[in-house]
Amino acid sequence: MDSKNWIFLSMNKLIVFIVFILNICTNIVANPNLQARTGILVDYHSDKILFELDPDAQIYPASMTKIMTSIIAFDLIKNNKLSLDDMFSVSENAWRLSQAGYSSMFIMINDQVSVEDLLKGIIIASGNDACVALAEGIAGSEENFADMMNEKAGEIGMTSTNFTNASGINDPDNVSTARDIALMSKYLIKNYPIFYEIFAEKDFTWDRTGGEPIKQGNRNPLLYKNVGVDGVKTGYLAVEKYSLASSMKKKDRRLIAVASGFNTKNLRSSESLKLLNWGFRNTNTFEISKKDETTFELDTWLGTKNKIKATTKEDFYVTINKKDITHLNVLLDYSGPISAPIDKGTKIAKIIVTKKNEIIKELPLYAAEDLKKVNFFKSLLTSLNYLIWGDV
């Protein structure tokens, strides 16, 4: 074969190979190819959905149900209707779950157990017996407690969820979705940041009655990898397979992933971590404004000051693909200078956030302070100065 032809063919093969590799890389960036039945990845601050795989498919949440069980207790503690030191008596109903092969805290009949220990038994050891003891102690029965759970789910916006028990063990009517579990996880992290720290604890020792203390490790496998994961909760049912709600924080950014239908424990761990890392690797979140904290200075006319501070009434973050960062623009839009007097709380401008000339969000800006008008003589002098020199 002619050497030129050989080189030409070799180059063609090389080009095909490079194109093949680039296609693979593009697919990796575009899609994490999650090996689960359903899943979702959400940015905590912006609520931007970064990835979804049939996120509204009905699932049996299994022990992820315990997130809501904990929320009910945290809510009562926050409102001074319950204390971590309160003691609940363990019923036979609760004790039987520790004898039935389910994950347990191993409490005994008539044990007096503090709310704090029960919560750690639920969150860290995933104890189904602790769930029942807590539910009965709070609401009198697990059925009544489930009503409280469903009421809270409605408040959070979990439109596709129905809780029938506190533990998530086998019940065909205890259902949810990956999207709802993500909503619930964000609510937990946002509203109970101190209590949420329990979800990151790696072990819990229960000084049980009638035996040696039992030390159990947290069921969340990602906590042990030291990659920034600090929650949330695993789940397993034979009919649902393995599931995991997880959250990873890097610096000031947090992502929440929920997926269900993993065939093995190892896949639950590796695929959830892959999904979280994919989100951090391919996207960025930017803080545009924090309610009553981020201030913008606007020019004023005939005011006692030349500038007035303005703020938004909501937090706003924007999440975009890293490749689109250069196309992100934040504009301050107002007709200025703004004439005094200006009352605090008056809408005086807006922020416009765009990407590739497409408006992502318009945020109204409100005066963060009162601004009085200058007296008549100074006002007259300023106006004359402007007429003569064109400058205020």
pLDDT tens by residue, 74-87 = 999 999 999 999 99
User: Shortest CA distance to 127 belongs to which of 51, 200, 206?
Assistant: 206
Residues 206/121, Cβ–Cβ less than 8 Å: yes
Residues above pLDDT 70, as percent of the chain: 88
Task: Report helix, strand or coil for 29.
Answer: helix
- Tokens 């020199």 correspond to 389
Q: Which residues contact 336 (CB under 8 A, 6 or more apart)?
A: 298, 299, 300, 301, 349
**Token digits of residue 238:** 């034979």
Catalytic residue among 46, 63, 98, 289: 63
| pLDDT at residue number 8 | 36
- Checking if the pLDDT of 16 tops 60, the result is no
pLDDT at 50 over 80: yes
User: Where does 36-282 sit in CATH, by number?
Assistant: 3.40.710.10
Active site residue 126: yes
- Catalytic position from the list 46, 91, 103, 126: 126
Confidence of residue 25 (pLDDT cuts 50, 70, 90): very low
Q: Per-residue confidence at 5, pLDDT binned at 50, 70, 90?
A: very low
* Integer Cα distance of 147 and 164 in angstroms: 8
CATH of domain 290-389: 2.60.410.10
In angstroms, the first-to-last Cα distance of the chain is 83
Predicted local distance difference test score (pLDDT) of residue 214: 94
Domain boundaries of the chain, sorted by first residue:
36-282, 290-389
Average pLDDT for 191-208: 96
Q: How far apart are CA 61 and CA 233, in angstroms?
A: 10
Amino acid at 376: F
Poorest-pLDDT segment among 114-118, 238-242, 387-391 = 387-391
Q: Give tens-digit pLDDT for 123-153.
A: 999 999 999 999 999 999 999 999 999 999 9
Residues 6+ positions from 84 with CB-CB distance below 8 Å: 77, 114, 115, 116, 119
Residue-wise pLDDT for 329-343, tens only, equals 999 998 879 988 999
CA 154 to chain centre: 18
Least confident span in 40-44, 81-85, 269-273, 388-392? 388-392
Which tens digit of pLDDT belongs to each residue from 291-315? Answer: 989 999 999 988 888 899 999 999 9
Query: Could you confirm whether 46 is annotated as catalytic?
Result: no
The average pLDDT across 148-169 equals: 97
Q: In whole angstroms, give the CA distance from residue 362 to residue 332.
A: 10
63 is an active site residue: yes
pLDDT for res 244? 98
Mean per-residue pLDDT, 217-229: 96
Residue 18 — pLDDT band, cuts 50, 70, 90?
very low
pLDDT of residue 390: 56
Catalytic pick among 66, 120, 233, 241: 66
